[in-house]
Structures are given as structure tokens and as C-alpha cells.
Amino acid sequence: MMKREEGEQPPEERHVLRIRNLHCANCALEMQEELAEIDGVTSAQVDFLNQKVTLSCTTEAAYKACIRLITHFDRVEIVEGAPPRAERHTAEIVSLCAAAVFFLPALILQLVGGSSEWLIFGLYFASFAAAGWQVVLSFFKNVFSAFREGFRLSLLLDENTLMLIAAVGAFALGETMEGAAVMLLYQLGELLQALAVGSSRDAIGKLLEMKSESCILLKGDSQREVSPEELTAGDEILLRRGDKVPADCRLLSGSQFDTKSLTGEAYLRDCAAGEEVLAGFVNEGNAVQAEVLRPASESAVAKILDMVENAASQKAAPEKFITRFARVYTPVVVLLALCIAVIPPLFDGFDFAGWIMTALNLLVISCPCALVISVPLTYFSGVGSLARIGVLAKGAVYLDALARVKVAAFDKTGTLTKGKFSVARTHGQERALAIAAALERKSSHPLARAFDGIPSAFLAENCTEIAGMGLAAEVGSKQVLVGSERLMRERGISITPLKTPASVVYVAEEGEPIGSIEIEDAVREDAAAALSALKREGVRRTVMLTGDTPDRAEAVVKDLPVDEVYAGLLPMQKPERAAALKAEGALLYVGDGINDTPVMTVSDVAVSMGKLGSDAAIEASDLVLVSDSLSALPKALRTAKKTRRIVFENIAFSIAVKAAFMILSLLHLMPLWLAVFADVGVMLLAVLNSLRMRAKIR
């Protein structure tokens, strides 16, 4: 067994735990802070919306300590597998109904008068007990946890404590109706909050319906039902009418597919034999066979689910602000309430009862739930909305960046054009095409796909790729170059450039040109409409950055609303041009290849084409267009702007209303029950405003 060197960090182990019964966003922040303080925990992320805890621990003891803290935190439980899609909240509903049964007769008797005060007190206390028994249990559980392993003040300053103090304080001051109303309204608000957030969770959870549960695997003349996870590249499967595609596949015969789960488009798509279909598509035509291209774990659906679930870890600036705000805000307000309860009465005829009630109002109104819940919920819903239109966002922070975009730059090949090249014409010696095909099979460049299917008796050896220009190899005993006009000039090979808007690949053997090949690539049908829509959404300038020649670049954009074209750029020149464009405003860059990754790292928002894009480009990007449809870009921009607008609406509304209610409380114009009602109302209005993100983006 090897010993670790002194000072060497122990290896980290990552754990993902599913939880339930965590309905308070502020509690999630507290749990996250408590977990992060445990020795041996290097990172802790509590995802309130997805009901998930992600931990990185260096020791088994640290992991066990985390488990103990989570399971002793309020009513939180750890569950196996995915959390339940919907919670019934039976106990909460029964408690509220029982509380209302006691509260309403007590209120009627109090208003009518003439009844025993002890009877009224008993009914109000029964209502308080029925509504607040879970709050009382949580309070004592938190007290035990706060002192169990060193004193932790944050556990004593949660919403349960604040509401319990307010209710008990009201009873102690003889305000029995308000004491019962505090707990009844608070628990009603908690239930409505849980239902609202659960509804949003269900909306995102519907993405799971894109995932196929089983598929038909073909082996010779036999077929059997298997899990999609069992599929490997090269397997043949049967897709019956109504079957979901279990993994990204290539069709062996044509059919019609419903693609709205990934692209958001309602119409059926005709897919021919040889065309790629993505996991999550639904076969709406006849039964067809298909060849699996990649495992289900690497499919478009798997990427969507993974990105949506993990988007919470990439917080936007307003989310970070709210986290810091809530951490400082609650202790400050508790201290302020204590001062209000003690100091003003000394100068107001020792009226402690009145000022204690004011302090209790302040505690109730101060609850930061409206902000702590609504802001991440809005971003969460925004990420889900993007997923429904076929755009994957790697985090909420990128929605903020997208909303600020003023300049949009595009690669040419595979982005503004389809990236499906074909050989149009050949010139020179007949063998030039076959030699070029032998070299291009070694290349990952999209242009090389034009040579797929072209037979070649030649074998290319020692093939090297010359970035942005072409290929060099040995064919037989001769040195061969295949590439652009620039490559030929740099190698001192004299050629006669073809005057054509098509891409041209020149072939040279032993320093002498032997032929040239014209390759054509069509512009995407939705490119013009997408760029025009981006301008309507506030993008001031659209630019194309390409390594292609000026003539071919201009031929592509002649019918597109592109303001400026920078052609003939080498891969290292694109980031320089992008940096200059950023001076004019936040930059969006859309690309699809390995050569685009340097410029993606420079841009404010990087978008890759998910279907055609290389793994490197997808990894470097912030957003992924699942179906390669540029028409999703303006929808994504509208979604990002709407998300940001709702976030700031909630922040401004919540702070303004709470500040107004605090002033009314200090003026003794706010009864305690109305303070609770106001707090719950603000929270619900903020949550309902957040749920506007679920509306369809057109």
C-alpha cells in the first residue's frame, strides 16, 4: 500500500444524494453552509429545486458526518434514486384543516362576544397546536443540532424559530387570535410554496419523458427488448410507430419523426435513410430499422438532462447577491428586532408589550423567502424553457450574459451553412480526386466529409494536418499536398486559382499541381430569418468570421443580413478579431468545429451546434443548439431577457414591499396576523411571477 507524501491532499470522492422534504430555499442555504464547514468536505452544493446534494469529501468520516447532518436537518430525508415527481403533502393539509376547524369557531365566538375567555383561548391554542406541531418539532430538533457538535447560530435563526417566537410572543401578550393566525397563515404559505415549487419541478421533470425506457435490439433474425443503457455503437434496433428513439442513431430506411421534445417544433420531420435522428425523437411513421451511433449516455437527451440538472451550480450574479444578502440579512434583522423590543420602551413609558409586538412583526416580515426562492426558481425555469426549445444552457450565469448580447459573430462552415459538403466539379488529372479522397479520410475537418463514399485505390501514410489550410502525406513514395490556395502558395507551388464561389481543394504531387476539386455547401434555410430576428431582439451587429476566401465568404452572405465579413482568418486570428468586437458590446459567438474553441473562450457567450459540432466545441461552449437550428437563437435571447426581467422584478418588488411593511410596523400600524399574511403574500406573488417563465417562448 502506497503512503501519501507529507502535505499531499487526500483524494476527493464525489457523492450525489437525492433528498426530499426540503421546501425552504433559505434552509437549503443554511444546510449548504453547515456542510461546507465539516472537516474533510472540500465542496458542498445543495440544489433546492432539484432536491439534490452534491458533496466532495476527502474522508469517509466527513461523508458520514454529512449524512448525519442532512438527516437531522429539519424534516429532510435521503432517498434512493430519483426523488418522487409529486408529493401529496397529506400531513400538512390535514394539519391545516384541523387548525381551521378550531380557529374559525374561536374567531366567531370572539367577534360575537359573551363566551368564556378560556374556551376561546383553548380553541385558539388547539388551532396553534394543530398548525404548528411540525414547527415546534423542527425547532427543538434544530436546538439539539445547534449544540450537538459545537454551537451553530444559523440553525437557531431559521424561519421555524422566527415564526415560533412570533406566535408564542403573541400568546404571552394576550393576543391569542394573532398567535394562532401567525402559525395558521405561515403553514398555509409553506404549503402553497411547496406546491408552487413542486409544480415547477414537475415541469422540468417532464424532460425525463424524453428518455426511452426500453427498445428492440436486432441480432440476426432474432429481436429482444433491452434497456437503452445496454446499447453500443453499431447495434441495430427496431423503431416501431410511437417508439421513442433510445439513442442517437442513423436510419436504415426513411420515416417521419416528432421532434418537439428536443427542438420545440410542432411539425413532423421527414428523415431519409442515412440521416441521423436524436434520442428523444418519436417515430410517427412506419416501423424502421436504425444503427446506433453512440451510447445512450452520450445522446442528446442525456446531455439535456445532465445540463439542466447541473445548471444550478453555475449561479448568476443576482443569485450570488441573494445568497450573500440572506446570510447577513437575517441575523441583522433579529438583532434589530431585539433592540426594538428593549430600547424604545425605555423612552415610551415602559410600554414593552407594544414594542415587543412591533419587534415580532419585524421578525415575521423579515423572512427572506420571497427572494431566496423566487430568484433561483426563475433561473431554473429559464434553463428549462431553453431546453424545451432545443437549447442547452450550462448554467444560469449564461442566461444573464446572453441577455446582454449586442454583437453576434458566426462561423461559416457548419454554422451559417449546412456543413454537408459535396464534390461539385473536378479539374485536371482524373486521379487527383482519388488521391484527395485518400488524404481527406484522415481529416476531422467538415470539408473532408465531401469525399466520403468516393472510392480510392491510394493509401495515404504519415498524414499531418496543417491547421486551417490542408493536409500533407505520402502516397506511394511521393509527397502529396491537399488543401487551400494559401497552402499551395506557402509551399511555393504555382497554381491558377479558380474563379468560383465554391470551396476549392487543390492537389499537388511532388511540388507540382495535378488537379483541383470544387466543393459546395448550401446556406441553412433558417439562417436569414434567425439573423433578422436577432436584430429585432436588440443585437446591433452581426458578423461572420471565417478562414475561407473573401469571394466564397461573400457568396455565402449575399442573401443574409450580415453587417460585416472577416474572411481568410487563421484559427489564431479569430480570437483577436473577437476581442476587438467585444469592445462594441457583449459578444455572442456561434461555431461548430475544433478550430472554433479558441474564439469561444474569448466570447461572452459561446454557442455550439450540438448535432454537427465537435466534442471540443460543445465542451468549450456555454449554450448548445441540440438540433443545429439557428432559429432557436432568437428564442433563446428572448428567454434570457425575460428571465433577467422577472428576476429584477422580484428583487425590487420584494424589497420594496418588505421595507414598506417594516415602516408600518414601526409606526404600530401593522397587526401581527397581517404581517404574516403580507409576508406569505409577497412570497407567493414572487413565486407566481417566476412561474411565468414556463409560458411558451415564441
Report CA-CA distances (Å) from 687 to 176, 307, 356, 650, 675: 30, 23, 31, 8, 18
How many angstroms separate the CA atoms of 490 and 497, rounded?
A: 14
Residue 16, Cβ neighbours under 10 Å: how many? 12
Instruction: Output the furthest CA–CA distance in the chain (Å, rounded).
Output: 114
Of the listed ranges 46-60, 198-212, 240-254, 359-373, the one predicted with least confidence:
198-212
Give the pLDDT score at 2.
Answer: 39
Q: Higher pLDDT residue, 380 or 200?
A: 380
pLDDT at 162 over 60: yes
Burial readout 268-280 (b: 16 or more C-beta within 10 A, e: otherwise): ebebeeeeebbbb
Of the listed ranges 313-317, 319-323, 347-351, the one predicted with least confidence:
313-317
Name the β-bridge partners of 564. Answer: 543
Identity at 425, one-letter amino acid code? R
Of the listed ranges 19-33, 395-409, 416-430, 577-591, the one predicted with least confidence:
19-33
% pLDDT > 70, the chain: 82
Query: Which DSSP letter does residue 420 get?
Result: -
pLDDT at 251 over 50: yes
- Give φ, ψ of 43 to 5 degrees: -155, 150
Report CA-CA distances (Å) from 25 to 48, 332, 368: 6, 19, 9
User: Which residue's entry shows cell 421527414?
Assistant: 270
pLDDT category, 193, cuts 50, 70, 90? low
Give the pLDDT score at 458.
Answer: 92
Model pLDDT for residues 478-511, shown as the tens digit of each residue? 999 999 888 999 999 999 888 887 888 999 999 9
How many angstroms separate the CA atoms of 609 and 621, rounded?
A: 9
Report CA-CA distances (Å) from 141 to 8, 72, 76, 145, 195: 38, 7, 12, 6, 24
How many angstroms separate the CA atoms of 102 and 99, rounded?
A: 5
Helix (H, G, I), strand (E, B) or coil at 117: helix
Sign of the Cα torsion 26, 189, 691, 208 reads positive
Q: What is the mean pLDDT of the chain?
A: 81
Q: Which three cell numbers stand for residue 316?
A: 448568476
Q: Which three cell numbers stand for residue 45?
A: 452544493
Give the pLDDT score at 214.
Answer: 83
Report CA-CA distances (Å) from 694 to 155, 631, 643: 34, 20, 10
CB of 480 within 8 A of CB of 461? no
Cβ neighbours for 258, distance < 8 A, ≥ 6 positions apart: 268, 269, 281, 282, 284
Cβ neighbours for 395, distance < 8 A, ≥ 6 positions apart: 310, 311, 312, 313, 314, 315, 316, 383, 622
Cβ neighbours for 603, distance < 8 A, ≥ 6 positions apart: 409, 578, 582, 587, 588, 589
Give the pLDDT score at 1.
Answer: 37
Give the DSSP per-residue string, 52-75: EEEEEESSHHHHHHHHHHHHTSTT
The residue ranges of DSSP E strands in 411-468, in sequence order, are: 422-428, 460-466
Over residues 400-421, the mean pLDDT reads: 88
pLDDT at 420 over 80: no
CB of 314 within 8 A of CB of 272? no
Pairing type for strands 605-609 and 623-625 reads parallel
Q: What angle do CA 653, 605, 635 make, to 5 degrees?
A: 65
pLDDT at 301 over 70: no
Q: Which residues are catalytic?
A: 411
pLDDT category, 310, cuts 50, 70, 90? low
Q: Higher pLDDT residue, 600 or 528?
A: 528
Among residues 393, 389, 392, 411, the alpha carbon closest in space to that of 542 is found at 411
User: Which residue's entry shows cell 466520403?
Assistant: 452
CB of 377 within 8 A of CB of 688? no
For helices 632-666 and 317-342, give the axis angle rounded to 10 degrees.
10
Name the β-bridge partners of 186. Answer: none
Over residues 332-353, the mean pLDDT reads: 84
Pairing type for strands 268-271 and 255-258 reads antiparallel
pLDDT at 316 over 70: no
User: Which residue's entry shows cell 452534491?
Assistant: 54
Identity at 168, one-letter amino acid code? V
Cβ neighbours for 129, distance < 8 A, ≥ 6 positions apart: none
CA dihedral angle for residue 433, residue 437, residue 438, residue 443, rounded to 10 degrees? 140
Give the DSSP per-residue string, 93-111: HHHHHHHHHHHHHHHHHHH
Give the pLDDT score at 562.
Answer: 94
Q: Which domains does the chain have, with CATH numbers?
A: 13-79 (3.30.70.100), 90-205+310-380+642-694 (no CATH), 211-303 (2.70.150.10), 391-418+523-628 (3.40.50.1000), 422-520 (3.40.1110.10)
pLDDT at 241 over 60: yes
How many angstroms separate the CA atoms of 277 and 259, rounded?
A: 9
pTM here is: 0.64
Half-sphere CA count of 245, side-chain side, radius 13 A: 34
pLDDT category, 527, cuts 50, 70, 90? very high
Burial class (CB in 10 A: 0-12, 13-18, 19+), 129: middle
Sign of the Cα torsion 245, 249, 251, 252 reads negative
How many angstroms separate the CA atoms of 612 and 447, rounded?
A: 12
User: Which residue's entry shows cell 486551417?
Assistant: 468
Cβ neighbours for 548, distance < 8 A, ≥ 6 positions apart: 412, 413, 503, 567, 568
Over residues 680-694, the mean pLDDT reads: 77
pLDDT at 370 over 70: no
Model pLDDT for residues 615-632, shown as the tens digit of each residue? 655 667 888 887 778 999
How many angstroms separate the CA atoms of 78 and 17, rounded?
A: 7
CB of 377 within 8 A of CB of 49? yes
How many angstroms separate the CA atoms of 416 and 522, rounded?
A: 9
Q: Higher pLDDT residue, 664 or 319?
A: 664
Give the pLDDT score at 29.
Answer: 74
Give the pLDDT score at 218.
Answer: 92
How many angstroms separate the CA atoms of 634 and 533, rounded?
A: 6
pLDDT category, 447, cuts 50, 70, 90? confident
How many angstroms separate the CA atoms of 537 and 637, rounded?
A: 7
